[in-house]
Amino acid sequence: QVQLVESGGGLVQAGGSLRLSCTASGRTANTYRMGWFRQAPGKEREFVSSITWSAGSTYYAVSVKGRFTISRDNAKNTVYLQMNSLKPEDTAVYYCASQRLGVGIYEYWGQGTQVTISS
């Protein structure tokens, strides 16, 4: 099992920045990829960004590309999401998730952290 704990959410004005953190614990040795997802009220959960644990390859949703940056600190088992130029439409609960090597889905999820952007 892998446990994921997110932090860093909050309320900021449009144009501001936030940095989310997600720390993994437990059986993390086989982690292949970690990702960030978000779910706004009344909407489906959507992909935001991901990073492969070994190579550090990154992927972004079109809606956040150029504004958000994902990174990881392998020694701390932590992935970050730096969010800049935030917009009201970025308001959502942000979830961290991890994917094991050889498994095609994100198996483990954090509890989520609320991000609210005021206009």
> For 40-96, what is each residue's pLDDT tens digit?
999 999 999 999 999 999 999 999 999 999 999 999 999 999 999 999 999 999 999
Average pLDDT over residues 1-19: 97
Task: Give the model confidence (pLDDT) of 21-44 as tens digits.
Answer: 999 999 988 899 999 999 999 999
pLDDT beyond 90 at 115: yes
pLDDT of residue 104: 87
Q: Tell me how far apart the alpha carbons of residues 66 and 80 are, in angstroms, rounded to a whole number.
A: 15
pLDDT of residue 34: 97
Q: Specify the pairing of strand 18-26 against strand 2-7.
A: antiparallel
Q: Tell me how far apart the alpha carbons of residues 26 and 47 are, in angstroms, rounded to a whole number.
A: 24
Instruction: Tally Cβ neighbours within 10 Å of residue 47.
Output: 16
